[in-house]
Amino acid sequence: MITKINLNNLINNNKMKVVKLILIALCIVIAGKMEAQVSVGVSVGVAPLWGPVGYSGARYYYLPDVEAYYDINAGMFIYLEGGNWVHRHDLPGRYAHYDLDRGYKVVLNGYRGNTPYTHFNENRRSYGVGYRGAPQRTFREDRAQNHGNERGHEQPHQEEHGNEHHDEKGRK
């Protein structure tokens, strides 16, 4: 009789362990799906609020004051760090107080490659630190003026830059 009771307890304990493992696995799967849903909510390919209005086809901005690029599709800055071009969600700490809304953005409409920094020397010569072209209105300013209307209602095209850039294979 004692053996039968111990055997039943052992079977019940194993069933509980299996149930606990199933519940843990289910929680992990649900948490993973929630994480995936959060990731999908990121606005990939949408110009940032500090971006200039009027350039719907552009993928990159060159930021002369910080000598960096911004990839609109990836939502990342591209800049030199330790002699290598890096992709980061934020500018380096030395630019912590840089005002992206007020800084000038050179829109590289003509560039279709994945490595805009191959033209860095040319961009730096043409658009040095402090460069200011035609006045730019940001999406944030546009949104405030239009009392919160959605981005995407763009103004007529402003002065365009970079139309003579080539892709990484040398094509216009």
Residue 145 confidence (pLDDT): 83
Distance of alpha carbon 122 from alpha carbon 161, whole angstroms: 12
Residue 20 confidence (pLDDT): 74
Instruction: Write the burial class of residue 170 (CB in 10 Å: 0-12 exposed, 13-18 middle, 19+ buried).
Output: exposed
Residues β-bridged to residue 79: 86
Residue 162 confidence (pLDDT): 46
Residue 164 confidence (pLDDT): 40
Mind giving me the DSSP string for 67-117? TEEEETTTTEEEEEETTEEEEESS--GGGTT--TTTS--EEBTT--SS-GG
Split the chain (172 residues) into runs of 10 and give each run's mean pLDDT: 56 69 68 44 72 91 98 96 97 94 94 94 96 93 73 42 39 36
Residue 6 confidence (pLDDT): 61
Residue 38 confidence (pLDDT): 33
Residue 151 confidence (pLDDT): 45
Task: Kindly provide the b/e burial profile for residues 24-53, where b requires at least 16 CB atoms within 10 angstroms of the residue's own CB.
Answer: eeeeeeeeeeeeeeeeeeeeeeebbebbbb
CB within 8 A of 114, min separation 6: which ones?
A: 168
Laid out side by side, the sheet with 84-88 consists of 84-88, 76-81, 68-71, 60-63, 106-107
Minimal CA–CA distance to 56: which of 42, 72, 40?
A: 72
